[in-house]
A and B are shown apart, each in its own frame.
Chain A
């Protein structure tokens, strides 16, 4: 499958505990929200909704609840017992590419690399808020400004090669360009 991690990674991940992943996810999202405090204002009435971010090649799903000035995140094994308002599903490397602006969400939807269900309006609001946030790896990791350029360059190189190795959709847009700059 296009852009999917090798199944062996999913197998290994399925026996690992979720708590460390959840703690890391909380930390990264807190960094992003601190760097972009107006993020939730773009969500308007959709702030407070529960979004299931589903990396379809991984044995876990993120449950994200962005609201004014902060966001909570939980990691679950499956969605059957996890109420949510909307679900956004794609391979992990594709989801990461949507966050940093490498991919256009509509194009991924047209090519069927991305699927959504649930509250379509909330999904669009989240997508547009992420688009406007211009998140990059160094910002999400909370790195100091002086190292962001070189770090983003290196991260862009690694992610670009990973996308090619996984036969992910062709990258376009400012994401990769911005990472290299």
Chain B
């Protein structure tokens, strides 16, 4: 295998057309994005693409030899499935290089309607066993699976081997979901909305911030999830990273406010057969996209050249101003 084919693809977030151009200019091999509705898991106000913006964005990316992956990775709502089917039609017509899907019925529909369209399995499908991956690969011709962020490198190695020739993609930077994605109901419990069905975790319409004596108090759906003391770094108002009192002590029961940063594990992940590295953050600004994409592109290029580089600039972008390798190195699993 030559060096060029061993270099994993860098998959970068694009929340807006400007974000897409920023990612392309910063060195992305591919960008991922979604329509401005509930068909994708980053359905936040002011974010995403209308049909013309997607066509223009794909044209810009293709001019620069960059692929565009369109996420339609929420689960179809009964009585409204045409919204998702129209999204598929429009993404294919716009020239998407691949569609990122989670709903098994939508995958079946897409494969039947567009036999030659490249399909990726979203992390939202939570396929984390060789059997599940083989099913999607053999039944629907899924070309790549995005693995959940709850696996160790050793588990990824076994899954990547079992998945072949289906490619594997893993998250290497950004927001860290500590739950099995697609199955997490915390946001639904608190707000009635979730990334799975409506494309939003802790929807901003249900988030409230208030200051009290310099402390920042964050609530979701009426539940106080965190009190950041004056000057302390803050995090997203997600229930999984909230601080709760249980059995008399106050702690982050599930996970601290912290971002995933696997830049030091890129070589390990490539060695076990991972095909693509994904940067989370379609909800982030152009400054984040430019910094994270440039840093990881340098890291991927350096890795391919057998070198190691310092990418300290990533720390300033992280939730809680801290990073972690997440489950990738968790020995307790």
Contact = CB atoms under 8 A, between A and B. Distances in A.
Interface of A: 42-44, 46, 98, 101-107, 109-112, 115-117, 120-129, 131-134, 169-175, 177
A127 B235 contact: no
B285 A131 contact: yes
A107 B15 CA distance: 16
Interface in B198-233: 203-205, 207-211, 216, 228, 231-233
Given A134-B18, A172-B316, A112 B234 contact: yes
B25 to A, nearest CB: 7
Contacts of A134: 18, 286
B195 to A, nearest CB: 15
A106 B210 contact: no
Contacts of A121: 45, 203-205, 207
B47 A110 contact: no
A44 B48 CA distance: 12
8 contacts: A104-B286, A107-B284, A107-B317, A115-B211, A123-B204, A131-B285, A174-B25, A174-B26
B283 interface: yes
B290 interface: yes
A125 B283 CA distance: 11
Name A's interface SS. Answer: helix
Interface stretch (B114-122, B156-164, B318-326): B318-326
Interface string B37-62: 00000001111000000000000000
B235 A110 contact: yes
B45 A124 contact: yes
B233 A104 contact: no
A42 B233 contact: no
B21 to A, nearest CB: 8
Name B's interface SS. Answer: mixed
Going nearest first, the 3 A-B pairs with the smallest beta carbon separation are A173-B287, A128-B46, A125-B45
Contacts of B307: none
B216 A115 contact: yes
B22 interface: yes
A48 to B, nearest CB: 14
Contacts of A106: 236, 283-285, 288, 317, 319
Given A110-B318, A131-B19, 12 more contacts: A103-B285, A105-B285, A106-B319, A107-B318, A110-B320, A115-B211, A116-B209, A124-B45, A128-B45, A131-B18, A172-B287, A175-B286
A173 B320 contact: no
B318 to A, nearest CB: 7
Contact of A101 (B25, B204, B286): B286
Contact of A120 (B25, B46, B204, B235): B204
Contacts of B231: 112
B291 interface: yes
Interface string B48-86: 000000000000000000000000000000000000000
Nearest to B46: A128
Contacts of B234: 109-112
B46 A43 contact: yes
Contacts of A124: 44-47, 204, 283
A133 B319 CA distance: 25
A115 B18 CA distance: 24
A111 B262 CA distance: 21
B210 A107 contact: no
B17 to A, nearest CB: 6
Interface in B243-269: none
